[in-house]
Amino acid sequence: MTRPLRIAPSILSADFARLGEEVRAIQDAGADLIHFDVMDNHYVPNLTIGPMVCAAIRPHVTIPIDVHLMVAPVDRLALDFAKAGANLITFHPEASSHIDRSLQAIRDAGCKAGLVFNPGTPLHFLDHVMDRLDIILLMSVNPGFGGQSFIPSALPKLRAVRDRIDRHMAQGGQPIWLEVDGGVKVDNIGEIAAAGADTFVSGSAVFGAPDPGGGYRGIMNRLRDAAGSK
């Protein structure tokens, strides 16, 4: 089956002094989404950017902003990001006391909603909310920092979630994107795609390149080649 494939460059590795220029460059290169990593120094041991920065980059691009919340609690910030122009909002289920309610609140605010699973987080959080999800994000590193190495146990986990999404859709369920985040590079994106991901976060491989547009094109071309040669 061929499915749409998307790259979501993570601005965590961008030059924060030139964010507007950086996001325009990746949009011009053809990027499908902007991945926006929110860390609160509580749920994860790092502190990044909030809704004000989301609102500041919003006028610079038209592509969707994919907000990955690494925060606890979730609900108040999720709604602030919806107001700041986010299009997709994902959160970690163990950071919310009421997963069903958080997912519904994100959708009610006009955004696509999703759950994020750390490498060690079990998939049973999916059990009763499949119909509330637009996206499932599997972490292939422990969250908190860019530039880490891909954890191989993410591959069988991706296959398990791909199977679950396919069964859900075969029974008439809504489409759900399968996103992967952490350590995605030119040399492993082919096998990650083969495991079932359709949306690939890439931070250091895009913004660590001398020219982010070129970094994006390099990884997207490799993904297209891998998908074409299946």
d(CA 168, CA 199): 18
Binding residue for ligand DX5, selected from 114, 146, 212, 213, defined by CB under 6 A: 146
- Active site includes 134? no
Taken as a whole, the chain contains a residue count of 230
* Cβ burial 115-145 (10 Å sphere, 16+ → b, else e): bbbbbebeeebbeebbebbbbbbbbbbebee
The answer to whether the CB of 92 falls within 8 A of the CB of 121 is yes
**Residue 143 touches ligand DX5, criterion: CB under 6 A:** yes
Region from 19-27, 168-176, 201-209, 216-224 binding ligand DX5, contact rule CB under 6 A: 201-209
Residue 159: Cβ-neighbour burial (10 angstroms; 0-12, 13-18, 19+): middle
Binding residue for ligand DX5, selected from 122, 147, 152, 156, defined by CB under 6 A: 147
- Active site includes 28? no
Q: Which of 37, 40, 134, 198 is catalytic?
A: 37
Q: Which residue, 119 or 173, is less far from ligand DX5 as judged by CB?
A: 119
Q: Select the residue whose beta carbon is closest to ligand DX5 and give its number.
A: 203
Q: Which segments of the chain does DSSP mark as H helices, in order?
A: 19-29, 51-57, 75-83, 99-108, 154-170, 189-194, 204-207, 212-228
Binding residue for ligand DX5, selected from 49, 89, 113, 201, defined by CB under 6 A: 201
- From the list ligand DX5, Zn ion, none, partner contacted by residue 183 (C-beta under 5 to 8 A by kind): ligand DX5
DSSP 12: G
**Residue 37 touches ligand DX5, criterion: CB under 6 A:** yes
The answer to whether the CB of 207 falls within 8 A of the CB of 21 is no
Catalytic residues: 37, 181
Binding interface with Zn ion (CB under 5 A):
37, 68, 181
Binding interface with ligand DX5 (CB under 6 A):
10, 12-13, 35, 37, 68, 141, 143-144, 146-148, 181-184, 201-205
